[in-house]
A and B are shown apart, each in its own frame.
Chain A
Amino acid sequence: MTGQGATELTVQENAEELRRTVTRLFGRSLHIRTLDTGSCAACEQEIRLLAAPHYDLHRLGFFFTPAPRHADLLMVTGPMVRAFENAARKTYDAIPDPKIVVATGACALGGVYQPDAFTRGGAGGTLPVDVWIPGCPPSPLALLQGLLVAVGRLAGKVKDLDFSLNGTPR
């Protein structure tokens, strides 16, 4: 999906073009397939709430689908237990291109569980993740922000946050 003209584009322009293409394809209609790779289901509960009237992801054009063939975005939760790796890989392969992978929750981002004989410690080692959503579990608002960042409707802001407090304590 990168430009194929004779003139070289800068990295910045490439990224911008990519973002525009993604927004054009998915900005107004996105089908999400959730994948639980061994989580405690707290992330799943928050994801479930997205369809409830208060957060209502349908108004943003997002839909859940169980069939990978119909999905555009794979939302992965859980620390990727090794017994599930094959199934996760098969699910990813079953989704047609173009697709986006979103890792959700501290487990999928590599926290909480150390990699050992039973878990890989996060989705990053098995799947090519595009967007990371921290939280334990991430609230539905955080999930909405993550999905909108994934389709390019919002710009991520965590890059510019420094998590430093200056001055007197709150």
Chain B
Amino acid sequence: MPLWTLRGLRRGVVTTRYPARPDPSARLLPSPPAFRPDVLTPGLADRLVAVCPSRALARDADVLVFDVGACTACGRCRAEAPQAVGDSGEFELAATARAHLIKRIPLAGRPA
């Protein structure tokens, strides 16, 4: 029997069980940001819009428009305002319509 067969048998099954069971490596994946609406001021929002290199953020009056599809998870918005931006931890982001990926996050100081 070839050596790699024995090695493989010793190592066991390496295939992930996803989607039947969650994959433990998923928590290591980079993910798009999540925003704190209560901390996001319009000024902060404008700074975030300016710093995003992929045009995923835009400001529409009192709403921060976040295009999940355009986000590259580079982390610049998080570095710019760590108190307002955190990790979403989501990786299952497939959408059947482009509109499902446009998220509107209300800015601080305004009712939700």
Contacts and interface: CB of A to CB of B under 8 A. Distances in A.
Whether A and B touch (Cβ < 8 Å) is answered with yes
Interface of A: 53-56, 59, 106, 109-112, 114, 124, 129-136, 138-139, 141-142, 144-146, 148-150, 153-154, 156-159, 161-166, 169-170
Interface in B51-104: 53-56, 66-74, 82-83, 86-88, 90-98, 100-101, 103
A73 to B, nearest CB: 13
B14 interface: yes
B103 A134 contact: no
Chief secondary structure at chain A's binding surface: loop
8 contacts: A56-B16, A59-B15, A110-B67, A134-B69, A136-B74, A139-B29, A156-B96, A159-B100
A78 B83 CA distance: 33
Contacts, number: 147
A56 B14 CA distance: 10
A159 B92 CA distance: 11
Interface in B1-45: 14-16, 18-19, 23, 25-26, 29, 32-38
A54 B105 contact: no
B67 A55 contact: no
Given A162-B103, A163-B32, A139 B72 contact: no
Interface of B: 14-16, 18-19, 23, 25-26, 29, 32-38, 53-56, 66-74, 82-83, 86-88, 90-98, 100-101, 103, 105
A136 B90 CA distance: 14
Nearest to A143: B94
Contacts of A53: 14-15
A33 B6 CA distance: 35
B91 A111 contact: no
